[in-house]
Structure 1
Amino acid sequence: ICWFLLFRTHWGLELRSVGENPAAADTSGLNVTRIRYMAVLLGSAMAGLGGAVLTVVQLNIFREGIVAGRGWIAIALVFFSRWQPGWALVGALLFGIADALQYRIQALGSKDIPYEFLLMLPYVLTLLVLLQGSARSNAPAQLGIPYYKDDR
């Protein structure tokens, strides 16, 4: 769905153009500030929905520290996917398998490996992805750079 929205719709083209070159997007008549705010609102809503699913569906309880660093894993997923939704799906499966694997190995009762090391498995994978991904990234050219219409 994300791939279709980003690469096959007019809104996706506008969003990508605002990320790559906001001055050119503004010159073509797009409201850069509105599109950026809408993207932040949509991303925040998706993160909130993910938190709700985690507390209500997966664990059925809320407690402090429930996310356990999963936000950093999500950031590593962006680096892994190189801003491509298809690769994000592959990365999400990879990180999900690493997360599930730690519990599966513990359930098998392996006495050779302390459970603390198994709990580190998703986060070690995250560090490896961040080290690998920091060398090459296809991030939008104007990512994190504010755009002021008067500064053109």
Structure 2
Amino acid sequence: MTAEAPAAPALSYGRLVPVTVHFDDLDALGLLHNARYPLMVERAWGELWREYGFGGYEGDWEAAGDACNAVRELRIGYEAPVSRPGVYAVHLWLERLGTTGLTYGFRFCSADGTVTYARGSRVLVRLDPVTLRPAPWSEPFRAVGRELLHPDRR
């Protein structure tokens, strides 16, 4: 008889995206290095946006569309140490979707979403590729963003 993996809890909002912590992501104490959390969150968002048909930057800001954006603010709080390599997850959602900016929330958590190791938020601003001034998100991007909004923010 084989054991079945525990079912992931139903999320009432957002998406749970798997990420992998490798041995070389750990610091000298054997803990996930603090700078790796935002990197893994970024990779999870990139994967999620690609699933929705929004590619990343490929060398041409004009063609990048909504991927032409910049981070305005990053906040993260660490709640429990990650002390071994393996599969984890990032729970992602939008807290705010404005005309030219957005705020997303995240949790770095166990693969099933039940244990939270870190949580935070990040503010992004969509940029015009020529002027590098704030520019509006496209309507297709906004439609996906509305799906990812936390229910209390809709």
- Answer with 1 or 2: which has the greater Rg: 1
In the superposition, the TM-score normalised over structure 1's length comes to: 0.27
Could you tell me the TM-score, scaled by structure 2's length? 0.26
Greater share of helix: 1
